[in-house]
C-alpha cells in the first residue's frame, strides 16, 4: 500500500511534463508554417517525443493519485474528475477552431465531444490539432481502473507484455489501407509507454527512503544514456512511418521511464525548478492551445525573419513562440483549468474527510 510520503514525492513529474510540453511547442513552431529561411543542425523532430513522455508521466501520476485503485462505489468520482480535468479546455479549443461553421460530419463531431475519436482510425487525429493524444489518454483512463488491479511490479510486467502484444497486433498487421499517421497515433502503438509508467510507479513504491538518492541518480544516468543512444543511433521520429518499430518504442520508453522514475525519487535542479514546475502546472493549456496560436498568426515566420543566420533560426523561433504562448497558457490555466479542477474536488469530496491526494495528482 502506498504511503503519504511516497505520494508527496512526485513533484518532479510535473516539471518533466512542462519540459515535454515546451518541446512539442518548439517542434510545431518550426514545422507548422514554412519559415521562408534555411535552418539546419537542430534535429527538431526529436522534440515530438515529448508526447510519449506525457504518456509515461500520466500512467505514473495516475498510479500515485490512485495508489489503491479505483473503488467500485467511487467510480463516478474517478470518471467525473477525469472528465472535468480535460474536457472544458478541449471544448473551448474545439469551439475556437470551428466557430465559423466549418463542415464537419456529425459522427466526427460527436466522437470529439465524447472523447471516443481514438477508437476510430479516420478520426483519431482529432478536430483539435495536437488533440490526438487526448484520444489515446481517454482510452487509458477508461481501462485504468479495470486492468491495473494487481498493483505491483508483477502486475505491471504482465501489462507491459500485453501492451507489446497490442503493438504487434496493430503494427504487424500488414495493412496498407490506413489513414496517414495511423500507426503513430494508435493507442496500441503507444500502450507500451503507459506500461513503462506503471513499471516506474511499481519500482518507486519499493525504494526505501535511504535508497532514494542513489537509485534516483542511477536511474537518471541510465535514462540519459539510453536517450542519448536513441538520439544517436535510433530511428528518427516520423508520424508517417509504417509501422512503428518496437525497438524505437522500447528504447524511448525505457529512457523516459528511467528519467521519470529518477525525478520522482530524487529531483535534480536542472530538470526540477520553479520555472519547470510552473510550466508543468500550465502544460495542458500550453500543449492544447499553442497550435491555434501558430496556425492563426504569422508569429513564427516573423520570428524567423529576425535573423539571417541559419544556425539561430530554431532557437529564436522557439524562444519567441514560447514567450508568446506561456502567458496565454497561464491565463487559460487560471480561467479554465483551475476552476474546473476545484469544481471536481468540490463535487466529489467525501463529506466526512478531506481529500488526501496531493496537488500534483490534480494536474494529471
Provide the residue range defining the domain that includes 20.
4-363
Q: Return phi, psi of residue 100, to 5°.
A: -90, 15
* Span 8-23, average pLDDT: 88
Tell me the whole-structure pTM to 2 decimals: 0.92
Task: Assign 239 a pLDDT band (cuts: 50, 70, 90).
Answer: confident
Q: Cell 533560426 sits at which residue?
A: 313
Q: Return phi, psi of residue 225, to 5°.
A: -65, -45
C-alpha to C-alpha distance for 230 and 245, rounded to whole angstroms: 12
Q: Give the whole-number percent of the chain exceeding pLDDT 90.
A: 79
How do residues 71-89 score in pLDDT, each as one tens digit?
888 899 999 999 999 999 9
What's the domain count of the chain? 1
How do residues 201-237 score in pLDDT, each as one tens digit?
999 999 999 999 999 999 999 999 999 999 999 999 9
Top mean pLDDT of 4-8, 48-52, 356-360 is at 48-52
**Confidence at residue 357, expressed as pLDDT on a 0 to 100 scale:** 47
Nearest-CA neighbor of 226 among 191, 261, 258, 197?
A: 258
C-alpha to C-alpha distance for 229 and 11, rounded to whole angstroms: 27
C-alpha to C-alpha distance for 132 and 76, rounded to whole angstroms: 25
Cell of 58: 500520466
* Span 16-31, average pLDDT: 97
Q: Are 58 and 194 in contact (CB under 8 A)?
A: yes
Amino acid at each position: 500500500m502506498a504511503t503519504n510520503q511516497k505520494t508527496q514525492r512526485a513533484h518532479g513529474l510535473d516539471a518533466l511534463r512542462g519540459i515535454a510540453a515546451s518541446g512539442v511547442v518548439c517542434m510545431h513552431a518550426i514545422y507548422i508554417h514554412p519559415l521562408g529561411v534555411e535552418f539546419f543542425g537542430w534535429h527538431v523532430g526529436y522534440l515530438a517525443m515529448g508526447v510519449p513522455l506525457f504518456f509515461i508521466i500520466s500512467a505514473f501520476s495516475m498510479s500515485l493519485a490512485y495508489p489503491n485503485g479505483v473503488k467500485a462505489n467511487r467510480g463516478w468520482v474517478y470518471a467525473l474528475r477525469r472528465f472535468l480535468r480535460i474536457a472544458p479546455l478541449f471544448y473551448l479549443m474545439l469551439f475556437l477552431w470551428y466557430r465559423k461553421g466549418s463542415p464537419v460530419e456529425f459522427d466526427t463531431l460527436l466522437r470529439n465531444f465524447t472523447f471516443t475519436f481514438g477508437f476510430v482510425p479516420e478520426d483519431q487525429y482529432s478536430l483539435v490539432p495536437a488533440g490526438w493524444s487526448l484520444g489515446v489518454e481517454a482510452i487509458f483512463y477508461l481501462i485504468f481502473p479495470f486492468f491495473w488491479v494487481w498493483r505491483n511490479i508483477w502486475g505491471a510486467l504482465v501489462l507491459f507484455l500485453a501492451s507489446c502484444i497490442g503493438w504487434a497486433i496493430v503494427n504487424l498487421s500488414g495493412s496498407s489501407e490506413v489513414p496517414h499517421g495511423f500507426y503513430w497515433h494508435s493507442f496500441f502503438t503507444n500502450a507500451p509507454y503507459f506500461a513503462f509508467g506503471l513499471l516506474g510507479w511499481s519500482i518507486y513504491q519499493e525504494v526505501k527512503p535511504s535508497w532514494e538518492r542513489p537509485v534516483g541518480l542511477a536511474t537518471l544516468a541510465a535514462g540519459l544514456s539510453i536517450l542519448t543512444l536513441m538520439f544517436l543511433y535510433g530511428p528518427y521520429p516520423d508520424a508517417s512511418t509504417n509501422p512503428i518499430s518496437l525497438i524505437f518504442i522500447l528504447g524511448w520508453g525505457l529512457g523516459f521511464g528511467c528519467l521519470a522514475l529518477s525525478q520522482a525519487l530524487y529531483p535534480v535542479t536542472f530538470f526540477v525548478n520553479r520555472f519547470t514546475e510552473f510550466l508543468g502546472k500550465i502544460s495542458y493549456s500550453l500543449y492544447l492551445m499553442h497550435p491555434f496560436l501558430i496556425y492563426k498568426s504569422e508569429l513564427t515566420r516573423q520570428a524567423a525573419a529576425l535573423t539571417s543566420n541559419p544556425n539561430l533560426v530554431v532557437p529564436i523561433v522557439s524562444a519567441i513562440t514560447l514567450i508568446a504562448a506561456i502567458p496565454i497558457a497561464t491565463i487559460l490555466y487560471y480561467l479554465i483549468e483551475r476552476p474546473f479542477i476545484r469544481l471536481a474536488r468540490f463535487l466529489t469530496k467525501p463529506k466526512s474527510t478531506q481529500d488526501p491526494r496531493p496537488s500534483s495528482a490534480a494536474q494529471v
